[in-house]
């Protein structure tokens, strides 16, 4: 293999990448998002500067992705936090747990998504939508929501999805010192909301040493939305370099 061939590589392993090149389109992506009030001190301990906390709210998400270009069929869950950056409102992606290797590798390597392998599930059980997160055999989160109680305006959901998303991309050097440490911004694009609903909901988070979703405790459930959308995951841009703050 020639040097020029190596330099055309976009992912690892070199001769058999874990995921194909993008763009990545998602069809019939199903969300359940429960917004809850949490401990402000706990929130301040996990949101990195220069992001600013808008209010002590966390959005706990379950996402079913049955048709994802290059990534296949998988389920994801995690926490995002409403934030502000340079006067622009968006969300900070704090934690993600999913059951498929390709989006774990691609998400971490390209954007810096904080993804871990686990066993989330989103299911319809009669009049209730049920979301669960297991890490190994241990239950770490349970969400329940009434099914399609009130119809929502899809344009409002699309506008919310179109807001910027922020995350911290960390890649170590071969001596384990930090080599890349960046605040990344990305957007969801070409969004079509096919249906959106609200309803009553409950959320329980349980302590776990590795899947530490309970670090941001549930003090009060504020709202819940359930919707289905098609969208494209756009590529990102670096908006702050922690290794070169000047």
Does residue 95 sit within a domain?
A: yes
Question: Which DSSP string corresponds to 99-143?
Answer: S-HHHHHHIIIII---EEE-EEEEEEETTEEEEEEEETTEEEEEE
196 in a structural domain:
yes
Structural domain including 66 reads 23-241
Nearest to 116 by CA among 100, 137, 139, 132: 100
The answer to whether residue 6 sits within a structural domain is: no
**Omega cis (within 30) before 179:** no
* Residue 85 to residue 167: CA distance in whole angstroms: 12
* Residue 2 belongs to some domain of the structure: no
Q: Is 163 a catalytic residue?
A: no
CA distance 180 to 202: 38
Q: Decide if 121 is inside a domain.
A: yes
Q: Tell me the C-alpha distance between 176 and 182, whole Å.
A: 16
Backbone angles phi, psi at 174, to 5 degrees: -70, -15
Q: Which of 2, 59, 115, 194 is catalytic?
A: 115
Query: Rounded to whole angstroms, how far apart are CA atoms 31 and 34?
Result: 10
Q: What is the CATH number of the domain that holds 131?
A: 2.40.400.10
Phi, psi values for residue 201, rounded to 5°: -155, 160
Domain total of the chain? 1
Is residue 1 in a domain? no
Enter the tokens of residue 95.
């934690």
pTM (predicted TM-score)? 0.95
Nearest to 183 by CA among 53, 77, 50: 50
With 0-12 / 13-18 / 19 or more C-beta atoms within 10 angstroms meaning exposed / middle / buried, residue 183 is buried
**Residue 76 phi/psi, 5° resolution?**
-140, 155
Residue 10 lies in a domain: no
17 belongs to a structural domain: no
pLDDT of 246: 57
pLDDT per residue, tens digit, the chain (246 aa), is: 999 999 999 999 999 999 999 899 999 999 999 999 999 999 999 999 999 999 999 999 999 999 999 999 999 999 999 999 999 999 999 999 999 999 999 999 999 999 999 999 999 999 999 999 999 999 999 999 999 999 999 999 999 999 999 999 999 999 999 899 999 999 999 999 999 999 999 999 999 999 999 999 999 999 999 999 999 999 999 999 999 865
């Amino acid at each position: 293999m020639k040097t020029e061939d190596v330099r055309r590589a976009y992912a690892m392993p070199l001769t058999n990448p874990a995921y194909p090149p993008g763009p990545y389109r998602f069809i019939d992506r199903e969300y359940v998002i429960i917004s809850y009030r949490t401990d402000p001190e706990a929130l301040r301990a996990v949101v990195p500067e220069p992001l600013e906390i808008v209010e002590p709210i966390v959005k706990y998400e379950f996402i079913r992705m049955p048709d994802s270009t290059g990534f296949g069929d998988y389920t994801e869950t995690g926490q995002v936090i409403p934030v502000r950056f340079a006067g622009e409102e968006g969300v900070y992606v704090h934690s993600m747990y999913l059951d498929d290797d390709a989006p774990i590798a691609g998400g971490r390597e390209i954007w810096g998504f904080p993804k871990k392998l686990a066993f989330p599930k989103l299911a319809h059980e009669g009049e209730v939508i049920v979301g669960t997160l297991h890490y190994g055999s241990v239950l770490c989160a349970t969400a329940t929501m009434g099914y399609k109680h009130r119809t929502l305006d899809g344009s409002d959901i699309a506008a919310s999805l179109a807001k910027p998303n922020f995350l911290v991309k960390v890649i170590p050097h071969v001596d384990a010192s930090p080599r890349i440490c960046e605040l990344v911004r990305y957007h969801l694009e070409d969004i079509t909301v096919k249906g959106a609903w609200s309803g009553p909901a409950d959320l329980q988070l349980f302590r776990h040493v590795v899947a530490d979703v309970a670090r941001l405790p549930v003090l009060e459930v504020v709202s819940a939305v359930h919707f289905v959308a098609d969208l494209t995951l756009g590529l990102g841009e670096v908006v702050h370099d922690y290794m070169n703050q000047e």
